[in-house]
Amino acid sequence: NDKKETFLYNELIKRILFKDLKLHDAQILVLGAGGFTLSAGGTHGNYFTYVDIDPKIKSVVEKRFLPKINGKFIAQDARIYLIKHLRQYDVIVSDVCSNLFSIPPSLLTREYFSNIKDSLKTNGFAIFNIVARPFLNDPYSKRVDSTIRSVFGNCISIPLQYSDRLTNIIYVCRASKNAHDKEVYTDNLNTGTLDFIVLQRGSYSNVLRVFHKKNTLNATK
């Protein structure tokens, strides 16, 4: 295999989808078909819909690279598709570079990311392939990051390389209920220990149940 960067980021997305998230029987929307490579090695029991503005891309790929794509193809602008089709997905992958690096400005806006969020099922995942600098020390990289996080509060960003150079950064975001929780721990208000116990136990009610059980046992001794 040719180990160029586009292949590496694509393999990272596949690992996230199939190994980390262990998706099965999921509806996956891919904005920007590329070479239809996310499902080229198999769908893993999932259902892929590819959307690309180039109507010829499917025939070109099937003529030169793949005997047949694994999934459904729709030739349409990504934003128009999201607005006109009210269907919701388990995962939406946005890989919309118009050439090696640049992303069309209309696909970098808060409104575009909001369209994606609105098209996700509850607790669905959005995955973005962004080419920028991982340390965000330039206006473009910082503002793209800020724009994504203004819509998706819960995001993990995974750069292919940690350097002060342009590289693929994979954002994995989730449409979670607590996405806009802005609470921070301070010396005057620190619930860190309690929150960690809740993290382990699953909910505050479970924690209270455990404390109540312990107090009951202590009272009977």
**pLDDT digit string (tens) for 189-201?**
888 888 888 888 7
Distance CA 120, CA 177 (A): 13
Same domain flag for 101 and 151: yes
- Which tokens go with 141? 């990289």
pLDDT band, very low/low/confident/very high, at 149 (cuts 50, 70, 90) = very high
pLDDT digits (tens, 9 = 90+) for 76-126: 999 999 999 989 999 999 999 876 668 999 999 999 999 999 999 999 999
Same domain flag for 206 and 134: no
Task: Say whether pLDDT at 128 is over 90.
Answer: yes
Same domain flag for 29 and 133: yes
Taking the C-alpha atoms of 158, 164, 168 and 171 in order, what is their torsion angle to the nearest 10 degrees? Answer: 30
SS3 category, 18? helix
Same domain flag for 78 and 52: yes
Distance CA 117, CA 189 (A): 32
Task: Say whether pLDDT at 14 is over 60.
Answer: yes
Cβ–Cβ under 8 Å, residues 72 and 48:
yes
Distance CA 50, CA 208 (A): 47
What's the pLDDT score for residue 93?
A: 98
Same domain flag for 167 and 205: no
pLDDT digits (tens, 9 = 90+) for 44-58: 999 999 999 999 988
Give DSSP secondary structure letters for 58-85: HHHHHHHT-SS-SSEEEES-HHHHHHH-
pLDDT band, very low/low/confident/very high, at 217 (cuts 50, 70, 90) = low
Cβ–Cβ under 8 Å, residues 170 and 128:
yes
Residue linked to tokens 């473009």: 140
Same domain flag for 50 and 21: yes
Same domain flag for 49 and 106: yes
Same domain flag for 151 and 220: no
Q: Which residues contact 63 (CB under 8 A, 6 or more apart)?
A: none
Same domain flag for 158 and 213: no
Same domain flag for 142 and 207: no
How many domains does the structure of the chain reveal?
2
Same domain flag for 221 and 123: no
What range defines the domain where residue 104 resides?
5-174
- Which tokens go with 101? 């690096």
CATH code at position 60: 3.40.50.150
At residue 113's C-alpha, the angle toward residues 111 and 116, to 5°, is 110
Same domain flag for 61 and 84: yes
